[in-house]
Chains A and B, each alone.
Chain A
Amino acid sequence: MTELKKIATRDGFGDEIVELGKENPNVLVLDIDIGKSCKTGAFHKALPDQYLNVGIAEQNGAGVAAGLATCGKIPFVVTYAAFGSMRICEMIRQEICYPNLNVKIACSHGGVTPANDGASHQAIEDMGILRTIPNMTVIMPADYNSTRKLVHQAGVTEGPMYLRFTRDAVPQIYGDDVEFTIGKAHQIQDGKDVAIIANGDTVRLAIEAAQVLEGKGLTARVLDMHTIKPLDVEAVTACVNDIEKIITVEDHNILNGLGSAVCEVVAEMGKGIVKRVGIQDRFGESAPYERLLAKNGITVENIVAIAEGMQK
């Protein structure tokens, strides 16, 4: 297996938001004092008139963004995933999603990627929580290039959105010529023995697992489900109809994230089987990122073992 170049998806956000801001002067960055860490420095430098920083005051940041959006601005509220989802959950619900305003919550430090920071900074509940709010779109891109494509699309698409990026570097999967559509699964490869549906930093595990499975004579369909809401129901339905056996993989609690969203579709179909790989409903700790994943069974080996088990 060739070693892929690694880069954090927060860098993809930081680079693409500059392009968006140059294209449309209504695009604003609203920082909450952690812009340096969330990679908005280049935007601040290039477009100072479109840059705001409201200090360490997340709730107010969400409200100010809502007010700006009512006046035609497209604010990207930038913070860490734990705070951009849970600290301001009710402001997102009341002032952004209920009035259906064009505010983007763009968060670094998704999942356990802020590994050494410990449980306080590891957001394992965020996507599930925000998925339950009407009007909200919830996205986690897999790598740098797909982040740029999806951030760009978010900037030119109306409506409230939550975008989640990695703190740590993750392997580059896609070239810069690959296209992505919000709400549409991206199929990386097709197969007939198992479907592996992943998103964010775990997509590369799905790809590697598929490669290992191939060596064992099994083929996998691998889907990058970057958008968990609106979920690409058609793609999930096709997995059930074509393959029946699905494994979901996510850097998120197994409750209410990608795996749950897929299960909701499959349960209503009355056929098919889903196995979920994700955080085992427990808080993290300060530890190397790969160790945190491994402790929760989010590994290539585990995905392969589950896929093999499903063949019996």
Chain B
Amino acid sequence: MKEVSIQELKNTATQMRMKVIDMIWKAQSGHPGGSLSAADFVTACYFKYMNVDPKDPRWADRDRMVLSKGHVCPIQYACLATVGFFPESDLDTLRKEGSKLQGHPSMTKCPGIDISTGSLGQGLACAAGMALAGKLDQKDYKVYCVVGDGEAQEGEIWEAANTAHKYQLDNLITFVDVNNLQLDGTCDEVMPNGDLGEKFKAFGWEVYYLDGHSMEEIVATLDRCMAAKNGKPKALIGKTVKGKGVSYMEDQVGWHGMAPNDEQYAQAMAELKAQLI
């Protein structure tokens, strides 16, 4: 764990958001909405909690990050580049031919990606497998996973929740990004999730509710997760806003998978810049 202040993390999260907007604008393709809603949690992981070595991306004892909602990989790419897994200039190649930054993350192409995802519902099982390997090998690493609330409609998520409970994977920390938007509308309209925290509780998980954009709450919750070696996998039910940080994208279903034009780009960057302290 790194010594870093809440204020620094907040600024870093804003910088990551700027990189997300920049790369999606340059690519004129990608998923800004979900990338921005998961930005604070993913930033906290990479810049405070995760024990990784950019020079040895496959280091066996590293902490892992699995974006089960793989389409929000721009936020992970921004963090990986900033931490030093690859040059920042590579961010300009997002979704371009020959790029390590595929539209959805590829572990064989991009250093720092721990599993290829993109087809929803599958990442949590993979994360559980990594956490299970850690238990079998008596290693101390943690596995962080980001699951979307829309994605939680996939049955495999709950199969994996069972497995994590059975094998007492308290080294598995799952952030459920509850922005209540999915591609066709709100989750409440498309397929109401109910209380996802209660569902994870019923599967034997330790559940924390938090404001997914409050760095104070994210850090406080992750600190509690680190301390709780109690055999229970952890679910962080983070209330979030899709498109968080860019006014015209916030809570707008249309910004799930659309790139900003030049004017929108300038506005988004100006708004984010103003959030830096």
Listed in ascending order, the chain A residues whose CB lies under 8 Å from chain B are 28, 49, 52, 54-55, 57, 59-73, 75, 90-91, 94-95, 98-100
Contacts and interface: CB of A to CB of B under 8 A. Distances in A.
Contacts of A95: 115-117, 122, 125-126
A75 B114 CA distance: 17
Interface string B155-191: 1100110110011000000000000000000000000
B69 to A, nearest CB: 14
A54 B106 contact: no
A75 B126 CA distance: 13
A64 B123 CA distance: 9
Contacts of B108: 98-100
Contact of A67 (B115, B119, B155, B156): B115
Contact of A49 (B66, B106, B117, B136): B136
Nearest to A66: B126
B106 A68 contact: no
Contacts of B160: 60, 63-64
B159 A70 contact: no
Interface residues of B, number: 36
A64 B129 contact: yes
B67 interface: no
Nearest to B123: A63
Contacts of B155: 59
Given A64-B163, A66-B129, A99-B116, 12 more contacts: A54-B159, A55-B159, A55-B163, A59-B156, A63-B123, A67-B115, A67-B128, A67-B130, A68-B132, A90-B119, A94-B118, A98-B108
Contacts, number: 111
B162 A67 contact: no
15 contacts: A52-B132, A60-B128, A60-B160, A62-B125, A63-B126, A63-B128, A66-B125, A67-B126, A68-B129, A70-B115, A70-B130, A71-B137, A91-B125, A94-B117, A95-B122
A94 B120 CA distance: 10
Contacts of A54: 159, 162-163, 166
B228 interface: no
B134 interface: yes
A55 B162 CA distance: 9
B118 A67 contact: no
